[in-house]
Amino acid sequence: SQQGEEDPQALSIQEGENATMNCSYKTSINNLQWYRQNSGRGLVHLILIRSNEREKHSGRLRVTLDTSKKSSSLLITASRAADTASYFCATAPRNYGGSQGNLIFGKGTKLSVKP
């Protein structure tokens, strides 16, 4: 079953605007990751935030994590047409069946950036 729920399901913005996507999850986690997927292709890792971190930056990306609310947000600043893709949050559950590292993905946010 899928743990994360991204919001919104779809987002359409103009180039240069900021895009914010939210993710909620259900169980305790070790870390939360964001991935990007271009249509029909594999996923590309964007950024990872650990459960003891609250905010992280990488280039034009900013991720926040609120473990008390079991939620995260991904902000893409100054968006470009090339940012058009689906964005997924993925959680690495804490003590998930004793395994190490399998991820639980949400359904994704489909971002469209218009030039």
Partner 1 sequence: DTGVSQDPRHKITKRGQNVTFRCDPISEHNRLYWYRQTLGQGPEFLTYFQNEAQLEKSRLLSDRFSAERPKGSFSTLEIQRTEQGDSAMYLCASTGGGDEQFFGPGTRLTVL
Identify residues 53-112 at the interface with partner 1 (CB under 8 A): 88, 90, 92, 97, 99-108
Contact string (CB under 8 A) for partner 1, positions 4-23, x = contact: x-------------------
Other beta carbons within 10 Å of 76: 24
The sign of the dihedral angle between the CA atoms of 75, 110, 44, 104 is positive
Q: How far apart are CA 77 and CA 46, in angstroms?
A: 14
CB of 101 to partner 1, least distance (A): 6
Any contact of residue 41 with partner 1 (CB under 8 A)? Answer: yes
